[in-house]
């Protein structure tokens, strides 16, 4: 287990220290944060499009999702400077203090240009319901940082984060592809609690810093009870997964996503410390990237070879 963690850390360190323009672009965009959204969007979107990866609206939707994640995180970068400074000085691995690499002006223009690009892509898609969902989510993302600072409101901030990482990409697919309501509900039921677990783990990893600067997240509010909550989330996640399968059995497509998060959450629960929450996040991110890549490759191959059979099996 230790060797695997060390390899993951080394890979993350290599990515974070690379001087290539592409690596720097990924860092200023905080692209890793888009991974959970893209995994859920890819699975649900490909299901709604009959597993057609080259569907134009599907690709534009994925781009819009990435840009929204980049814009919201870009806004967060502008106002979390002191928090990130403290995180770096405390040696927290997940911290990504961008101003040690980029100027505040660069960070500001990254937010502005990413937001403009997002507006252009949403306009190009031309779907009113899709645009409304994106406007609402963008507003929530802004309020999460300032002026209301939803992050500082226990449970509410975590629930909005969970919405952004799970329900939002599913709703995007529902409106963009006119997806079936039954499937939308099933995918939402299956992914909500595991995503909540991931958001809670992120707060646990930041708990030391949040206490120092006076931020009162759900993890800070729960204190020692957080481990009990994690146990309950694990149990109910499994139960809701089977409920979701009963509602609409093709929800099994999200099983790899759920396994990655729930397995790493369980490993953290078994040997729980705030410090290990950082390692858990790194492992979840590394494995989600593998899931996303593998899923896209498999879908492309199957669509080109047995696309009709695949569509018939899942009744898309």
Q: Report whether 199 contacts 226 (CB < 8 A).
A: no
Nearest to 13, CA basis, from 294, 200, 286:
286
Which pLDDT band, with edges at 50, 70 and 90, does 99 fall under?
A: low
**pTM metric for this prediction:** 0.87
What is the mean predicted confidence (pLDDT) over 186-194?
96
Nearest to 174, CA basis, from 240, 101, 242, 248:
248
Which pLDDT band, with edges at 50, 70 and 90, does 211 fall under?
A: confident
What one-character DSSP code corresponds to residue 249? G
Which pLDDT band, with edges at 50, 70 and 90, does 286 fall under?
A: confident
Q: Report whether 257 contacts 47 (CB < 8 A).
A: no
Token pair of 192 as six digits: 């909500």
The DSSP-derived string for 82-126 is: HHHHHHHHTT-TT---GGGTS-HHHHHHHHHHHHHHHHHHHHHHT
What is the mean predicted confidence (pLDDT) over 25-45?
86
Instruction: Indicate if the pLDDT at residue 85 is higher than 70.
Output: no
How far apart CA 206 and CA 89 sit, in angstroms, is 13
Which pLDDT band, with edges at 50, 70 and 90, does 213 fall under?
A: confident
Token pair of 135 as six digits: 């406007």
Least confident stretch, 41-55, 144-158, 160-174: 144-158
Which pLDDT band, with edges at 50, 70 and 90, does 104 fall under?
A: confident
Instruction: Indicate if the pLDDT at residue 150 is higher than 80.
Output: no
The DSSP-derived string for 144-191 is: HHSSS-GGGSTTHHHHHHHIIIIIHHHHHHHHHTT--HHHHHHHHHHH
- Domains along the sequence of the chain with CATH: 31-314 (1.10.600)
pLDDT the model gives residue 171: 96
Least confident stretch, 96-105, 177-186, 236-245: 96-105
Percent of the chain with pLDDT over 90: 47
Least confident stretch, 53-62, 110-119, 304-313: 304-313
């Amino acid at each position: 287990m230790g060797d695997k963690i060390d390899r993951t850390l080394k890979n993350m360190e290599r990515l974070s220290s690379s001087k290539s323009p592409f690596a720097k672009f990924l860092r200023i965009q905080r692209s890793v944060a888009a991974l959970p959204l893209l995994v859920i969007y890819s699975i649900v979107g490909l299901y709604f499009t009959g597993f057609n990866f080259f569907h134009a609206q599907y690709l534009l939707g994925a781009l819009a999702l990435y840009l929204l994640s980049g814009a919201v995180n870009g806004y967060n970068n502008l106002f979390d400077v002191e928090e990130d400074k403290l995180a770096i000085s405390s040696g927290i691995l997940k911290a990504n203090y961008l101003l040690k690499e980029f100027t505040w002006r660069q960070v500001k223009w990254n937010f502005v240009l990413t937001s403009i690009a997002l507006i252009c892509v949403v306009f190009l898609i031309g779907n009113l319901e899709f645009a409304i969902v994106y406007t609402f989510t963008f507003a929530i993302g802004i309020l999460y940082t300032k002026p209301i600072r939803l992050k500082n409101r226990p449970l509410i901030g975590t629930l909005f984060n969970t919405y952004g990482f799970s329900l939002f990409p599913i709703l995007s697919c529902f409106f963009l592809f006119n997806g079936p309501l039954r499937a939308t509900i099933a995918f939402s039921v299956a992914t909500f609690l595991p995503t909540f677990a991931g958001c809670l783990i992120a707060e646990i990893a930041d708990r030391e810093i949040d206490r120092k600067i006076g931020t009162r997240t759900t993890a800070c509010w729960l204190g020692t009870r957080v481990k009990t909550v994690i146990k309950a989330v694990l149990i109910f996640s499994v139960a809701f997964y089977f409920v979701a399968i009963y509602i609409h059995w093709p929800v099994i497509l999200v099983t790899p996503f759920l396994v990655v998060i729930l397995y790493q959450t369980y490993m953290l629960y078994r040997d729980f410390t705030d410090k290990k929450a950082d390692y858990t996040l790194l492992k979840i991110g590394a494995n989600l990237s593998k899931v996303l890549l593998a899923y896209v490759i498999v879908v492309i191959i199957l669509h080109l070879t047995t696309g009709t059979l695949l569509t018939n099996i899942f009744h898309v």
